[in-house]
Structure 1
Amino acid sequence: MPTDKAQALVVDDETDILELLRITLARMEIHAVTATSVAEARARLTEQSFDLCLTDMKLPDGNGIELIRHIGARHPELPVAMITAYGNMDSAVEAMKAGAFDFVSKPVELQRLRQLVAAALKLSHRPGGESDAAAPQLLGASPAMARIRQLIAKLARSQAPVFVTGESGTGKELAARLIHAQGPRCDGPFVALNCGAIPHDLVESELFGHKKGSFTGASSDKQGLFQAAEGGTLFLDEVAELPLQTQVKLLRAIQEKAVRPIGTQREQPVDVRLISASHRDLNAEVERGRFRQDLFYRINVIELRMPPLRERSEDIPALADWLLARIADKTATAPLPLSPEALATLARHPFPGNVRELENILERATALCEHSRIEAADLYLPETTPVTTAPAPPPDSAPVPPDPMQWDHAAAARRLGMSQRSLHYRLTRLGIE
């Protein structure tokens, strides 16, 4: 047996399929070891290690789902893909829920098979949890975030569609970017679309592209986001906002792994991993008839719930330090620390806007703070907001226009009743040199 080649375990009881897969893999410099049953496959797994596994769904002594679960329990680093009957998406979804890396349908398309095998081999040589140091990171040491990081590392080793749930501001896009960065598609593009930000009559063009002249305003050919994400990941945020007509076409694109640009008659194959997200309850949207149940079934193969900030308040200090450093970097100033009272106030706040709200609060506090650290009153939260009365202007006084030749920041800050730091921050935000 060759030792310098990648090793693949191929499990199928049809001789012609085994031969086709063996020849195709050999042309990719991969040595195939074959098995015709679940029992034989288990025996092969005990005899040697493999870089990937391809298994049929129906086998004489069981099914591929059993083998996928067996591999997941005993060989978790081994990517396994399911070979399903044509059009049987239910089996494909079941396989990916059980832990399959991906699936390919019969009759096997060789180009699709080669893409799958290449991604699996890349994954098998990428240890679980490994990520690029430059990739975005989830901050926080709470148990909730530790579980999220573990789940993201696991999801990165799959091609299954992921549905990210959570309130606004919990980091759903960040989670999607991490899944992409830690997976075999990390060298491909990450393309994001907020479905709620696109007019309904343009969303299909954005997703699938169009040909010149296909509708009023189509002055040139346009590439869709599915094509732009080829070989990478397409992230559809606020997917619940898609109109029903577009949902039908999205479902077909997922099932057929192909899209048809507006104004064309032929579908174009696409190799894209789909991650979607919404802050809405899609089960409720399905019950109200606003979201297709069959589409929800396809995009919700694996669900990832991002916890709200109030469920991990112990992460607030680390998040605040990072956000304050980022705010200071934008204004070229030293970051302001938070007083213990300010931290305690933040810990009690419910944060309906989550991390995004925390950033807004700290940005406002940085602008208004007149001391060397941010105090609780600078946060201007309901329990700490001081009641102040603006001093009345002197009688018969009028604003004195500034002399453009003189920029005395200290004097200007005194006249405005704020610190030089606050003045500098506001000038920077307004682009005033």
Structure 2
Amino acid sequence: MTETRTALIVDDERDIRELLVLTLGRMGLRISTAANLAEAREQLAVHRYDLCITDMRLPDGNGIELVHEIARNHPSTPVAMITAFGSMDLAVEALKAGAFDFVSKPVDLNVLRGLVRHALELGSQASAAKANAPLPSENPSRLLGDSVPMQELRSTIGKVSRSQAPVYIVGESGVGKELVARTIHEQGARAKGPFVPVNCGAIPAELMESEFFGHRKGSFTGAHADKPGLFQAANGGTLFLDEVAELPLQMQVKLLRAIQEKSVRPVGAASEIPVDVRLLSATHKDLARLVAEGRFRHDLYYRINVIELRVPPLRERRDDLPQLASTILTRLASSHARIPPQLSASAQDALAGYAFPGNVRELENILERALALAEGSNITVSDLRLPAPLPAHNSDSIPAPASEAVHDIDSSNAALPSYIEQLERAAIQKALDENRWNKTRAAAQLGITFRALRYKLKKLGME
């Protein structure tokens, strides 16, 4: 027999309490109620709840206090906040304090039911995970690596996965921001729902509203049928906005409204459609600097950056290189029906000394090329085709005297060309990543012709 789920409703308005009791009761929950913080604390002292829903403003305090207390004393109990209409700042404050989600007054019962389902699903996942906890040596995550930065990243992901708060993922190109977003989705209450990634820099500005919110038949030339947008496609799941810094200001305004109202209006539609999505966003750019420069809206930045999650670059987790390289080579070799080759000791040393400006994505490209070039069962340094490593530029390092620097360059005819080649490779890689491998735009950013870029890609083995 299935155990009845329980919920605690905390609100000083009797009408709201009765509405919530009726709605949640019809969903099969057993309900307790409290009219203030004191009563809520009494209930929590003697009962365990699968969910708590509390009003923000209470006669003897505010709901944020209760969020903190439940997070500290009952971490397995999700807390949802009821806020006044338009009080998005308070909702964000609640999410930062650890609230699972929020619902605005007047309470939309469809939104409330969706919130409750996600909260209970999260509780079921937590119980299952506890009952079937993997051994400490097991690593079920696709985020490979046992370095301290990766252990901290996985720990943080585990925490943010228990919330519905928007997460802003920041990191350099190639570090795996989309993989982090997928992991948050898969470990959260929306795992059974869709995960919809979108590259904001790849959508033409004139089509953005239609792509995000959908359109009605006949709303513009070429709209031959109704089409749902990305928000509708992600309904019940997660919408991941990659390269969110590329959104034009006009679209930022409309996105902000969709986040605040939890609804969208398709182009040509007369009314809005409620949507239930968790928003994750990412960029390799300095979004705070863009806000200061007026190129990104401060209020939207505040909404999407409820929780900030930094993904470390590969150079900060060099201890993970052997595991990453082995896993990538095994996958690549399997796709070509080959036995995975081994990295020679010198090849491993070369990888360990390389800066990896393109991070894990560049490592994959290097190993894929090496796999194609390797003739035997070992990958050698020459198969990697790595340029000479750039000199370190740590603030604590002391530069060598000019005479020594000249001597170092003179000691090898290949040193200066290799150094220049690496600078060139890094600049091209950065331009390609920033323009999603649109070579025409990358060439324009670099200030060279498209033909010149093609030549350099071929010359550097980057095609």
TM-score w.r.t. structure 2 length? 0.80
Distance 1:139 1:355 in 2: 11
Distance 2:388 2:107 in 1: 64
| 2:40 alignment partner AA | A
- How many Å apart are 1:219 and its aligned residue? 2.3
Distance 1:340 1:45 in 2: 59
Distance 2:89 2:127 in 1: 28
CA gap of 1:96–1:381, structure 2 versus 1, over 3 A, is: same
Matched with 2:445 is none
In structure 2, the gaps of 5 or more residues are: 390-411, 415-463
Secondary structure (helix, strand or coil) at the match of 2:342 reads coil
Matched with 2:27 is 28
Distance 1:154 1:235 in 2: 18
CA gap of 1:268–1:203, structure 2 versus 1, over 3 A, is: same
- How many Å apart are 1:62 and its aligned residue? 1.1
Residue pairs, 1:27-426, within 5 angstroms: 27-127=26-126, 130=129, 137-383=142-388
CA contact (8 A) 1:239 1:277 kept: yes
Matched with 1:418 is none
Bigger helix fraction: 2
- How many Å apart are 1:285 and its aligned residue? 0.8
**Deviation digits for residues 114-157 of structure 1, max 9, x if unmatched?**
11111111111211894999986100001111111111111111
- How many Å apart are 1:87 and its aligned residue? 1.1
Secondary structure (helix, strand or coil) at the match of 1:223 reads coil
The CA RMSD over aligned residues, in Å, is 2.2
Distance 1:302 1:239 in 2: 15
Distance 1:34 1:371 in 2: 71
| 2:80 alignment partner AA | A
CA gap of 1:129–1:121, structure 2 versus 1, over 3 A, is: closer
What is the aligned residue count? 386
- How many Å apart are 1:112 and its aligned residue? 1.1
**Deviation digits for residues 166-206 of structure 1, max 9, x if unmatched?**
00111110011011111111111111100111111111111
| 2:35 alignment partner AA | T
- How many Å apart are 1:228 and its aligned residue? 0.6
- How many Å apart are 1:48 and its aligned residue? 1.2
Distance 1:129 1:335 in 2: 36
Distance 2:97 2:204 in 1: 37
Distance 2:166 2:50 in 1: 23
- How many Å apart are 1:110 and its aligned residue? 1.2
Secondary structure (helix, strand or coil) at the match of 1:126 reads helix
Distance 1:325 1:128 in 2: 34
Distance 1:141 1:79 in 2: 30
**Deviation digits for residues 342-375 of structure 1, max 9, x if unmatched?**
1111111111100000001111111112232112
Distance 2:117 2:157 in 1: 21
Secondary structure (helix, strand or coil) at the match of 1:222 reads coil
Distance 2:107 2:372 in 1: 61
Larger Rg: 1
In structure 1, the gaps of 5 or more residues are: 388-433
Matched with 1:5 is 4
Deviation >3 Å, runs of 4+:
128-136, 384-387
Q: Percent identity?
A: 62
